[in-house]
Every structure is written in structure tokens, then in C-alpha cells.
A and B are shown apart, each in its own frame.
Chain A
Amino acid sequence: MTMKKMSKTTKSNMITYLMVIVIFLVVEILVFTGNVSSLLQGLLVPLCAYIILAVSLNLTVGILGELSLGHAGFMCVGAFTSAFFSKCTVDTITASGLRYFLALLIGAAAAGICGILIGIPVLRLKGDYLAIVTLAFGEIIKNIVNILFIGRDSNGFHFSTKDSLSLGLEDGGKVIVNGPQGITGTPKDSTFFIGVVLILVTLFIVLNLIHSRSGRAIMAIRDNRIAAESVGINITKYKLMAFSISASLAGVAGVIYAHNLATLTAQPKNFGYNMSIMILVFVVLGGIGNMRGSIIAAIILTLLPELLRSLSDYRMLIYAVVLIVMMLFNWSPKAIEWRGKYSSKFRRKNKKSTKEAA
């Protein structure tokens, strides 16, 4: 019995990996045969970042059972730290693969550390504090990035929170982070292929975590904190683990995003609250706790508005309605009861008809 179940989850995971690979191949073929507009091609790398964000947020929402409204903030941290690193080392580390790999590690680590710093005070509290604190964190990060100026000359790094002139750089010194103008000239190392590989890596980490001893502990806390404590589960440790892994994966998404742009700036639309909400819509539409669903929802909701341009004015409105309707339909006790009745009726009918057929 248990062996059968093991293979069931393994099978389900395999389907998810396979789905990603098949979609990748189909897109590559379509691009190769010239069936994808350049506009859509430009969306492919950001889409990979969104998918990773959605899966990582689903780890927090679906598995840990907490809400983060600052995933765009963690993405922002990953984006800026990694872009800073890549821009600084673009002349010294010439192997772009190695540089990108290091950038990934740095982006993930920086975002993960932010996750731990936020998680330590907040995750020990009961209630909806994580939502509001992560929201606050996202805004703080955006604020900080917009007043940060960093330059480098032969004397080393210079910092300022005023403007680029007050960095006091020598001749030949370079401004790396330029306040609201952000970082210009990050090497464009992200490709669709790398994005898809990183989606697979993300899935590997998240799915394997869920189906392990630590994952069970995390889900036990989600289902019943008091009972989990009573069987000796360390609540803070596992909550913090899930949340920091989720944050560092959001950082990875930021790395992909940053290395696809000529100029990286922190604006409300890419690293603000709206972005966090968009990712939440992916997670809710795809099914809370369902990683494959998050991927599909991210793909549909990213591509659909581009394909149906006339809808773009209503895009946000549609997101709002999707959120409300999905939550009411999936979680309201009455709706659950109604669906239960309906589906059992349906099943009974089905059984009857198969019996009749036999």
C-alpha cells in the first residue's frame, strides 16, 4: 500500500517536470518556425521568473499556511544584489556561465537572509502578521533601493543616499547603483533555456521538500500548530525553514529578471505590492498547495492579456474577481457542502450509467 502511494506522488511529480519540459520544447519549436511574435518572445524570460515566484509563494501559502505580500520585495533583493555583483565582475569573471551561477547564489542567499531576518520576529506570532510585515518589507526595500547610490573607483566602493555626485568618485570611477535610475548595463545572461532549467530546479527543491520529513513537519504545523507542538515538532524552526527557502527562491526569480533587462529599476509595477498580488492570483487560481496549478495559472494569466489586448484595461479587475470568486468557491463551508453534494450525485449517476452499460 505504501509503495503504491510513494509511486503515486512520484508519478505526479514526474508529470509536473514533464509538463515543463514539453512546454519548453513546444515553445522552442514555435520560435524556431517563426510562429512567436517578438513581443511574446520578450515575455518568455519574465514568465520563467513569474513561475518560480508563483511556486515559491505557493510554498509559503499552500504548504506553510502563511501569507506573504512581500514576495516582490524578496525578488527585488535578489535582483539588485545579483545585478550589482554581475556588473562589478563583468570584467573580472569573463566566463558568463560561472558569473551567472555565482549571481544566482548571491541573489538567493541575500533574499533568504532577508527572509530569515523577517521570519524570526514575525513567525513566532499567531495571526496575520506575516502578511502585513512582508508587505511593509517590500515597501521598505523599494524605498531603500531608490535612494541608494553606489559607485566604485580605484579607492574602492563609495556609498551615498543623496545623489551620484556626492559619491565623490575620482575620474574614471563608475556609478554602479544610481538611485531611482537603478542599475544600467547588467549583462543580459538570462535566457529562456536557463529560465526553464531554474524552474525545474525550483520544482525539484520544493516538491522534494514537501515529500520529506521536514515537509511533513511544516504541513503538520499548518494543519494544527498545537498538535504539532505536542508531538515534539519545533514550530519556529520549520516555519523559518519554509519561509526562508521560499524567500530565496523568490530571490532566484529576481536574478533571472534582472539579467534580462538593460536597466534595472525598482518601481511599484515590477517590485511593488501589485506584483506580489499578481503572484498571489497565480497561486490562488492554480490551487493553493498545487505547484503544477501555479505554473499553469502563471502561464495563462501572463500570456492571455498579451493575446487579448482589448482586455488589458480590465486585467487588474479580472484579477480581483478571480481572487474573490476562487476563494469563495473553494473555501466557503457552504460552497464546499454544495460541491460535495453535486459531485456525489454526479458520481452516483456515473456509476449507474456504467452499471447499465455493463
Chain B
Amino acid sequence: MALLEVNNLGISFGGLRAVNEFHLKIEKGRLYGLIGPNGAGKTTVFNLLTGVYKPNEGVILLDGNNIVGRKTIDINKEGIARTFQNIRLFKDLTVLENVKVGLHNHYKYSTLEGIFRLPKYFKVEKAMDEKAMELLAVFDLDKEADTLAANLPYGKQRKLEITRALATEPKLLLLDEPAAGMNPNETKELMETIRFVRDEFHMTILLIEHDMKLVSGICEELTVLNFGEVLSEGNTSDVLNDPEVIKAYLGE
């Protein structure tokens, strides 16, 4: 069974059909790309998958469970985590605290145990610190653990967002234009990081990207979205050679 299976997904805003008859099938452990020209509806698909928008029709099966209509927080608990096109960090919290917020639903003690500093508080906080530092070390962010997230350089902010998403222990990781605003060197490093995440965490990753080099470099399969509809899908090299796709990208 595929980890994610989407069928006949659609949503309209007012009279505008933003996404129409969208479908997607991602096997576990794959690195999958969602590409398409600006305004094709890629981020809308992410928002549908994470419950930010409710689709007008369609099914989203995660591990066989339909998650359509569920709230964002429940979908995260079911196992989808994401990053955002315009970085959304907890800017006045430290790097470490950002990751610990990600760990929120896996390391628990009650509010009263926290206020009265009962033994469980110390035990769980220690475990959280260790886990968070371990994750940060993977992304080479451990030296900045006490820095405020807002003070990180841009590239590291992107990495921190990925770390925070991984902290929620997802089955599927959605990355929304992870390379946006990065220079070629940073992009190259990011590609390695993404591949590393897939291999190390056995993660299934769906990413939106404009950077063709990144897409062709790491994605194994692609879906091309144009005007809210699937234009082409399949193996990366096949899709990129599809005349329809070339037409959509280069225009006529």
C-alpha cells in the first residue's frame, strides 16, 4: 500500500478552480517532487494535505486512513509535517526551544507538573533536550542551540524548519520550496541534507520546488501541476522530457 494516496482532489475559491481532479501516489521512502509554473496550485495542494483548507471533494489516504476534514493538528498527529514557503519559525524562541515545540506531542508532562517542578518535569525536559540536541546535531545546528531563531542566517532558518518538522516524528514530510532564496552552494548542501534525511530517518518526502537542478538531482518521481491539474507524472527523467511539460514551462 502506498503511504500517501490522493484521488480526485479539488477546491474552488469563489469562482476560481484552484485545484481540480488532483491525484498523487507516493510509496514509502520515496523522494517525490511536485513542480509546476507559478500559480499552478502547488502550495494549495500542501494546504489541502495538511488541513489548512478543506477540499470540496476528493480523498486523501495516509497509510490507508482518509484524513480529509481533519484539523491541521490532528493531521500532524497522524503523521504529516511540513515547512513553509515563507519561513515560519517561532522567532522569539531559541533554536533549541523551536525543536522542543516540535517534540511537544511525544514528550509529555502536565502543566501542573511543570509549574510545581515535580520529578517528571526534570526527567522529561532532560529527555527532550537530549532528543532535540541530537536532531540539531544532524543538521549542524547544535552550536546555535541557544540563539534566537530570528537571528539565524537564512539558510539555517530553512534547516531549522525542517528539524522542527522532523521532531514531530512524521511519516511524510512536506517541504515547500526549501531552496527558495538560497545560493547555488547552499542549494547543493540542502540537496544533500534532504537526501540524508530520507536515508537516515527512512522518511518519505514530498517537495515543491522551482529549482530544476534540485528537482532533477534528488527527486525520483515527479508530478507536474499546471492550472490546478496534473499535467504529467512518473519518473523524473521521463517527466522532464515530456513535450507537454516543456511547453508549459517554456511557454509557446
Name which of A5, A232, A241 has the most chain B CB atoms within 10 A of its CB. A232
Q: Determine if A332 is an interface residue (Cβ-Cβ < 8 Å).
A: no
Contact status of A216 and B88, CB under 8 A, knowing A223-B93, A231-B165, A232-B76: no
Determine if B96 and A209 form an interchain contact, defined as CB atoms under 8 angstroms apart: no
- In the complex, which residues of chain A have a beta carbon less than 8 angstroms from the beta carbon of B77? 232
Contact status of A5 and B165, CB under 8 A, knowing A216-B93, A227-B90, A241-B111: no
Q: Determine if B92 is an interface residue (Cβ-Cβ < 8 Å).
A: yes
Measured in the bound complex, the distance between the Cα atoms of B84 and A209 in whole Å is 29
Q: Write the B127-145 contact mask toward A (1 if CB under 8 angstroms, else 0).
A: 0110001000000001101
Q: Determine if B34 is an interface residue (Cβ-Cβ < 8 Å).
A: no
Instruction: Please give me the residue from chain B that is nearest to A227 by CB atom.
Output: B88
Determine if B72 and A227 form an interchain contact, defined as CB atoms under 8 angstroms apart: no
Q: Identify which of B93, B101, B145, B146 contacts A231 (C-beta below 8 A).
A: B101
Q: Write the A109-141 contact mask toward B (1 if CB under 8 angstroms, else 0).
A: 000000000000000000000000000000000
Interface size class of A (residues with CB under 8 A): 20 to 34
- In the complex, which residues of chain B have a beta carbon less than 8 angstroms from the beta carbon of A226? 52, 84, 88
- In the complex, which residues of chain A have a beta carbon less than 8 angstroms from the beta carbon of B102? 231
- In the complex, which residues of chain A have a beta carbon less than 8 angstroms from the beta carbon of B164? 231
Q: Determine if A1 is an interface residue (Cβ-Cβ < 8 Å).
A: yes
Q: Determine if A230 is an interface residue (Cβ-Cβ < 8 Å).
A: yes
Determine if A213 and B108 form an interchain contact, defined as CB atoms under 8 angstroms apart: yes
Instruction: Please give me the residue from chain B that is nearest to A217 by CB atom.
Output: B104
Looking at chain A's contact residues, the main secondary structure is helix
Stretch from B113-121, B189-197, B241-249 at the A interface: B113-121
Within A218-241, the residues touching B (CB, 8 Å) are: 219-220, 222-224, 226-235, 241
Q: Determine if B168 is an interface residue (Cβ-Cβ < 8 Å).
A: yes
- In the complex, which residues of chain A have a beta carbon less than 8 angstroms from the beta carbon of B52? 226
Measured in the bound complex, the distance between the Cα atoms of B114 and A204 in whole Å is 11
Instruction: Please give me the residue from chain B that is nearest to A209 by CB atom.
Output: B115
Would you give the shortest CB distance from B204 to chain A, in whole angstroms? 17
Q: Identify which of B105, B121, B167 contacts A212 (C-beta below 8 A).
A: B121
Q: Contact residues of B with A, CB < 8 Å?
A: 50, 52, 72-73, 76-77, 81-82, 84, 88-94, 96-98, 100-102, 104-105, 107-109, 111, 114-117, 121, 124-125, 128-129, 133, 142-143, 145-146, 164-165, 167-168
CB<8 Å pairs between A and B, sample of 22: A2-B129, A5-B96, A208-B114, A212-B111, A213-B107, A215-B114, A216-B93, A216-B104, A217-B101, A219-B93, A219-B97, A224-B89, A224-B90, A227-B84, A227-B89, A228-B101, A231-B76, A231-B81, A231-B101, A231-B104, A235-B73, A241-B111
Taking A217-B104, A224-B88 as known contacts, 10 extra A-B pairs with beta carbons closer than 8 A to each other, sorted by chain A number, are A1-B142, A2-B129, A208-B114, A213-B100, A228-B90, A230-B50, A230-B72, A232-B73, A232-B77, A233-B73
